[in-house]
Structure 1
């Protein structure tokens, strides 16, 4: 290696400036560590730049569009055509993103965290080289790998055609298509399906599995498919995409195979939403003794977020445990606590997950299918939004809340919500599970009226004497 590089020694090196990396950096700095963070792109990672936050900005624009479209139901008459200025939609998204990224940059400076722009590659178990404007050799006492994930590569003939895009490209597109085919019925695919549909686009979803959102309770999968039908989103399950072609009209033909044989759907655009995979590109992990997961996808860590090398940690999507920003942030705090000698472990039993479809979906803990697989003794209560006063005022009575308790100790095992305010309501059940609260503890809790939180009260009563609204 040439001597034409800078040298740096740091207590804690963090590779990756996403929600896991920057939270770990701030937490470490506040505990007196000398922290250096390396980020090759923009601080904030996928979540702030091309993931969670930008999509939620589009979700809100689409929601406003849908409210205006249905305004007569509330006695508000909006005359004239409804027009969507996609350039302004994208500009607003960028304003939100830039403000949050700026906030992260401010926190780095405030907490005296040295940020290097570039790509870090391991030289050994104790050092990396950062290739940026000027190469920097960094020696560290401890390192946290937080390089996140990247869009999964998929081999579909025609995927390189100009009308095919991935989620990152969709978030920057200022052209609103008249129609779109989405390949993949997971979280990314379904959020975009409702974004586009609420903006007035014809939407088709092609999913390889037998149901949408296979990670959620089957009842929730059925309910979101019902919501798709109501919204006019065409869903095809048990379908394998064979190829993508351009037809004589210059539009996309997505050719897929299902139980009926080979089928074709035409659309102006195609969105590939297959998922994400751990990002270890150019990390040169092979120059260390760090072990990977059994399938080679992601860095293997224990409950302290340690790899097999005492001073090397991994957090977030690169570990391929749970690909959620808030999980990465919590893992970062756990990792730093262990660096500080606190001997802390992470518990994944109460991880909330939110999917911003219409209606929203939120889950925590076990699904009923998981309870059956684990042969648990459990009771289920399920209550719809139909009798909830606040939901009625908003004309958002679709959906339900499903709660599962352990019959051996009355503790809450899991909750699935699909309906209004699901993203906010799930925090109550997350706290219940993480704190070991029982059915009785929740039954003794007073919920404000009139709010959608009353569905929690109803579903808890359903575990015993039955819902008070039935």
Structure 2
């Protein structure tokens, strides 16, 4: 029987990063993955493939809608080759997952293919082509999550689908009904909207992206409606029925009136659930809470002290980069170091176009906590760089403490928001003030100038270009 200092169950961003960090710290490490490729949901059926399709569909939309204005004439009709688009997406996935194979070899990490389940607190059974058992002084549970559904919905994976199936459709829907106005539903909805589908979003809450700052929700709602999305908030879905190739969704609006939606595809994107199927957690003394999450303490330690859990399978935002931070945190904890994670500084992003990015506290959270704050906001359309690229939608909003000027929250809708949020994370990590950012030189012309201008706006309303 092979023995390890650390065994990791699950090879998503949390699991494989934890494995690499453990190996760097001199720990003999094994990683267990039930699927044939490494990388988990993110690399195989999540972050990476969805961004590949978002980029491809963005190119198509630009060609159809904007090339002529840029002085680019294309003779003949511009057509979507969905088969090639999906094939390119898969090539990106294959290259990326192959890169994880390389990293495992480079770091001398043993990879086991099969379902990992606890025999006891220090022994793991791996059910693959043949059953194997290994011994581990420490184990990290990184088994991730699966798409959630509603109890009355029968997901047939053909017409009533999850995000997994939406990444490999063989045709462009005529009318895609999206249940859920969160990150996944809006991103994949935008892919198919660009390619020619009619898209109707049905959201239970009173706004889309409801966990983010309400200003972002309002702005993105406005932008998507301009893109001809049909957005229905405060709608409670009560039935989803398939009749041949037609899907009928019935929902009650906020007045209690029944509304009917008909389409040829229905994407169910109502969140994700922790995945612990087959883990046999109880055999190791690992406890789950009523949401199915693995219970952990502040050190991400389970009820059994040599077993840890990270990522989507525990509490908190289901984000790949959160899982990565937790993977490093646990590896360093096992090695005897004293690492730290500031969960307030884990950014959140929606990869629609324009992008949405946020970090820190929302206005709603600051009001609820009774914190006095000031707001600096700057519109993207006031930038020369935005006019040059025709990316005029959105804004940057900085929330700063009214007394100390410390930045408490950063919220942005606009081009390259996903990249620009890192500036705010750095600033907030070092407890910078809005004035600190306002006094830093930002290259001109760039989208990043909007961050400086918002900081100036928060500093005695000193924005220069509005």
In 2, Cα distance between equivalents of 1:158 and 1:434: 45
Q: Secondary structure at the match of 1:74?
A: coil
| Alpha-carbon spacing, 1:340–1:158, altered in 2? closer, same or farther (3 Å) | closer
Return the alpha-carbon distance in structure 2 between the equivalents of residues 408 and 113 of structure 1. 51
Structure 1 residue ranges without an equivalent (≥5) = 1-6
Work out whether residues 149 and 268 of structure 2, in 8 Å CA contact, stay in contact via their aligned partners in 1: no
Cα deviation, residue 379, structure 1: 0.7
Task: State how 1:145-184 maps to structure 2 within 5 Å.
Answer: 145-160=141-156, 162-184=158-180
Q: 2:256 and 2:328 mapped to 1: Cα distance?
A: 51
**Bigger shift: 215-224 or 72-81?**
72-81
Q: Distance in 2 between matches of 1:226 and 1:317?
A: 31
Partner of 2:343: 348
Query: 1:23-34 maps to which residues of 2 (within 5 A)?
Result: 23-34=17-28
Q: What is the Cα deviation at residue 162 of structure 1?
A: 3.9
Alignment match of 1:233 (pick from 225, 229, 233): 229
Distance (Å, rounded) in 1 between the aligned partners of 2:338 and 2:419 = 32
Match of 1:290 among 286, 289, 293: 286
- Do the aligned partners of 2:401 and 2:408 also contact (CA within 8 Å) in 1? yes
Mapped to 1, the partners of 2:364 and 2:69 lie a distance apart of 38
d(CA) in 2 for partners of 1:409, 1:136:
58
SS in 1 for 2:343: coil
**Residues 116-151 of structure 1: CA deviation (Å, up to 9, x unaligned):** 000111111221111111111221111111001111
Instruction: String of CA shifts for 1:318-351, please: whole Å, max 9, x gaps.
Output: 1132210011011000101000001223211211
In the aligned structure 2, how far is the partner of 1:81 from the partner of 1:270? Answer: 29
Q: 1: CA distance between counterparts of 2:231 and 2:295?
A: 36
1:267-306 aligned at under 5 Å gives the runs 267-293=263-289, 295-306=290-301
**1:290, distance to aligned residue in structure 2 (A):** 2.1
TM-score norm. by structure 2 comes to: 0.96
* Residue 460 of structure 2: aligned partner: 465
Equivalent residue for 1:91? 87
1:16 to 10, 19, 22: 10
Query: Does residue 204 of the first structure (1) align with residue 167 of the second (2)?
Result: no
Q: 2:31 aligns with which of 23, 26, 37?
A: 37
Q: Which of 261-270 and 328-337 deviates more?
A: 261-270
SS of 2:386 mapped into structure 1: helix
In the TM superposition, residue 10 of structure 1 has moved relative to its aligned partner by 0.8
CA contact (8 A) 2:356 2:413 kept: yes
Compared CA separation, residues 376 and 16, structure 1 to 2 (3 A)? same
Structure 2 CA distance for aligned equivalents of residues 67 and 161 of structure 1: 31
What value does the CA root-mean-square deviation take over the aligned residues? Answer: 1.4
Aligned twin of 1:3: none
- In the alignment, which residue of structure 1 is the partner of 2:353? 358
Distance 2:345 2:231 in 1: 31
5 Å matches for 1:245-324? 245-247=241-243, 250-258=245-253, 259=255, 261-293=257-289, 295-324=290-319
After superposition, where does 1:115-130 map in structure 2 within 5 Å? 115-130=111-126
Query: What per-residue deviation string (whole Å, max 9, x for no partner) do you get for residues 339-388 of structure 1?
Result: 00012232112111111112100001111111111111111111111210
Is the 8 Å Cα contact of residues 178 and 200 (structure 2) preserved in structure 1? Answer: yes
Which of 168, 193, 217 aligns to 2:213? It is 217
1:304 and 1:344 in contact (8 A); partners too: no
Comparing 302-311 and 120-129, the one that deviates more: 302-311
Counterpart Cα distance in 2 of 1:462 and 1:157: 48
Structure 1 residues 210 and 88: alpha-carbon distance in aligned structure 2, compared to 1, 3 A threshold: same
Deviation, structure 1 residue 310: 1.9
Give the Cα–Cα distance (whole angstroms) in 2 for the partners of residues 40 and 380 of structure 1: 48
Identify if the C-alpha distance between structure 1 residues 250 and 310 changes in structure 2 by more than 3 Å, giving closer, same or farther.
closer
Mapped partners of 1:370, 1:157: distance in 2: 34
Is 1:133 matched up with 2:133? no
1:47-83 Cα shifts (integer Å, max 9, x gaps): 0000000000000011001111222222323343331
SS of 1:72's partner is coil
TM-score, length basis structure 1:
0.95
Paired residue for 2:330, among 314, 324, 335? 335
Secondary structure in 1 matching 2:459: coil
CA distance, structure 1, for counterparts of residue 235 and residue 404 of structure 2: 43
Structure 1 counterpart SS, 2:237? strand
Q: Is 2:402 the counterpart of 1:412?
A: no
Q: Is residue 352–residue 430 contact of structure 1 (8 Å, CA) maintained in 2? A: yes
Q: Does structure 2 retain, via aligned residues, the 8 Å contact 1:194–1:357?
A: yes
Cα distance in 2 for residues equivalent to 1:185 and 1:287: 39
Measured against aligned partners, the alpha-carbon deviations of 1:273-315 in whole angstroms (never above 9, x if no partner) come to: 111111111101111222334x342112233222232211111
Q: Aligned runs of 1:345-424 on 2, under 5 Å?
A: 345-424=340-419
The answer to whether the 8 Å contact 2:435/2:456 transfers is: no
